[in-house]
Structure 1
């Protein structure tokens, strides 16, 4: 599988996955298709809804004689008349939901290969929230055994889903991820359906974060998580793929999906949507149609709102404002908001490592969780560095050096402009900003302010500037002075080999300053600490090792 990352926002990525001759842009949802109960045809899903990936159940197909023979003869893509990627499920959910016991783990994998599935899933053991520790551990061990033993049945050109079980036992989730970390590209978090149905978002957040910390470089699929309300949360946590039959299940129960939750059709007076279904019908008119037609129409609406929310999430990632969107969506349910607050309280200092040093979009205040955001956590983390010069008190943060009020995200606060224009010498501004961004305190230079720009000079040589963005931009000479005073890796990316044309690839990096962030400027040096050039960091440095063939920093 090839993965090309187009945009990043924290853990969220817009990527293009290429495999089995197909391309899938993530984050994306695999629409569940049951060939026995087609409400919307796969052909229409592809043409009207632009679906790039479907998931169908290999167990159901194998147990339906006509479908089984047709799938063997025509293969899945022809049988379903779908040209995108097709993923197959093994029947683990049926074992859980219907109590089915007669599924052979090896046979179901062989059958998926035989019918031409692009993405094959082994038969995992579904861990329930009510399972005892011993039961959960036994199921995890059996799932690991099955994944390993089925691996050699998968042709190299197909993708192999690696299911991770463990229920709410975080250590078992980590154990599963560790044991299987070298088995494939796509790792699916199983057993989420019961947690989603009980609105247990806190546990879901803890599970996904634990797995992301264990296998940060893998593509993550959230099994059974297909309500548009939680797409922003899943993407924020770093999930790339999700799937669900929610669109059809809800339609069959006269339920109407929105990005803020599920409504009962009989309780709606005005449709809050402008999709073709909602434009053509009023809620009362839809209620008066026969059951089969109503189910199909509701399924169409549910698909429209599903794909609409997916586009909204992608646009938010592109504009680096996914958390702004998530703060709004979290207000859909009290337990959703509680989970977001707990997530940020517990993990913001880790999430901060993936955040760029600055963004083009402002942070939006929606409630108390604003002060727990990773961007705010960064400020708190850096306040213990011992800053020279003047400080001020900011509500919600405490005492901060005046100069950082010029920087993202504090510069958006109304009081920041007033306080930052307080009588502070240009020299003091530069020293505070260098301390904040690089944790260094360089003295002995002169700083002169002209208009909104501060220029710093050392022995008649310009060593840096501060422009209206509040970011200190060291020149080559400025970085050479930093290198001469501070030991590696402060302010540096250390490379093993000389980068060509100013492009630093992940495989070339030997070490780096752990305080550097995307968008920041760093000195690129060789193993002898010889300055080569200065470069802008393009991806989180903590991810350099996972992207050996990606450009991680570019000379400026």
Structure 2
């Protein structure tokens, strides 16, 4: 993997760059649609490619390990072939899912024993076997196995967890050196900064991760319930330390406003289930605010979803039609809303990139934050 830093905004830390892998170019800043179980939920690959057109999507190691299971993915020739996706894929390590299964898992130095949410069977994730699983899945970018701490989190727990995440990182890297790539193309490995919302821990972790010398770095353990201002504060601490010549990935973030504010702090990559999850529940994002399409006020509004002249995908539908689809519980409504929201998120990061390259990102960002912080 190669990262080229092309431009930085003069009034913020926002960056425009280019990541090149064996599956193509990723222009940054980038939002990665979440394809948890080998699909971006409710969106056909045709729409994903033609309407949303992301350079990269995300797969989930925990879920893919459980279903369809790694032997099936290996027989298929990896996740790209299994889901008929010829562009980039990033897989997380399962650390976040282990965090979310707090009632059904036990964390030890060796790894994590957890109970499947599907059938109650027990499984173990270690730094070593998570590397093997991600080799078999075959993503272009793979993540270190970490523990994602909850919010709020006791300082001593956060400190112990951070040091264990660092020890797990060392084990990941040692094991990864021993196992060859599976499908003939390279996999880039990103370690993950932890430390909860404690500045001194975040600083320690960022220094440890920077010293690991990986080709890219991730920031984990945020967007887990902390106030947005604490998220930004921790991101700023970490991006001041992580190398400028390598991409920075803020995991699980977030709202459109979160994304713009973190781009301004020097983050290059984002993912979140919000566009599709909120879309399935009738919340639409636009450059001028959010819409609850289920509200009665839209039933005779025949204007486009964003009636300010901005289109996010090739096919536009009226608010009245989309409200009707939700009213009759038609699955097409949830699909259109998901495609619209993903199209908006990709439009937003691409507009951010244009303004970084033009040198006026910060003023544009401030205007956009005000516009988007409305309910229409």
SS across alignment from 1:324: helix
Instruction: Determine whether 1:194 maps to 2:228.
Output: no
CA RMSD of aligned residues (A): 2.3
In the other structure, the counterpart of 1:26 is 28
Structure 1 stretches of 4+ moved >6 Å: none
Deviation at 1:262, TM superposition (A): 3.6
Helix, strand or coil at the partner of 2:34:
strand
With structure 2 as the length reference, what TM-score do the two structures score? Answer: 0.81
Deviations 1:462-488 (Å, cap 9, x if unpaired)? xxxxxxxxxxxxxxxxxxxxxxxxxxx
Deviation at 1:136, TM superposition (A): 0.5
Which is higher, the Rg of structure 1 or of structure 2? Answer: 1
Deviations 1:56-84 (A, max 9, x none): 101111112x3533311121110121111
Seen in structure 2, the aligned counterparts of structure 1 residues 260 and 175 have a Cα distance that, compared at 3 Å, is: farther
Matched, 1:316 2:371: no
Match of 1:112 among 129, 134, 152: 134
Matched-pair contact (CA < 8 Å) for 1:229–1:259: no
Equivalent in the alignment of 1:210: 237
Query: In the alignment, does 2:269 pair up with 1:249?
Result: no
User: In the alignment, what sits opposite 2:323?
Assistant: 284
Residue 168 to residue 291, structure 1, CA distance change in 2 (3 Å): farther
Q: Choose from 45, 48, 54 the match for 1:45.
A: 48
Measured after TM superposition, the shift of residue 317 of structure 1 is: 0.9
**CA deviation map 1:276-314 (0-9, x unaligned):** 243485343233342422211110111121111122211
- 114, 135, 155: which one pairs with 1:133? 155
5 Å matches for 1:265-414? 265-267=293-295, 269=298, 270=301, 271-273=305-307, 274=311, 275=313, 276-279=315-318, 282-331=321-370
Superposed displacement of residue 21, structure 1: 4.6
1:9 match: 9
| Equivalences, count | 330
Does the 8 Å CA contact 1:46/1:84 hold for their aligned counterparts?
no
Q: Specify the SS of the correspondent of 1:256.
A: strand
Say whether residues 1:182 and 2:211 are aligned partners.
yes
Q: Secondary structure at the match of 1:191?
A: coil
Moved more, 110-119 or 287-296: 287-296
Following TM superposition, by how much is the alpha carbon of 1:182 offset from its aligned partner in structure 2, in angstroms? 2.8
Gaps of 5+ in 1: 335-556
Question: TM-score normalized by structure 1?
Answer: 0.56
The higher relative CO (CA closer than 8 Å, separation ≥ 6) is in 2
- Deviation by residue 1:100-122 (Cα, 9 ceiling, x = unmatched): 42241221221101221211112
Deviation at 1:260, TM superposition (A): 5.3
Q: 2:193, 2:327 → 1: CA distance? A: 44
In structure 2, the gaps of 5 or more residues are 106-113, 115-123
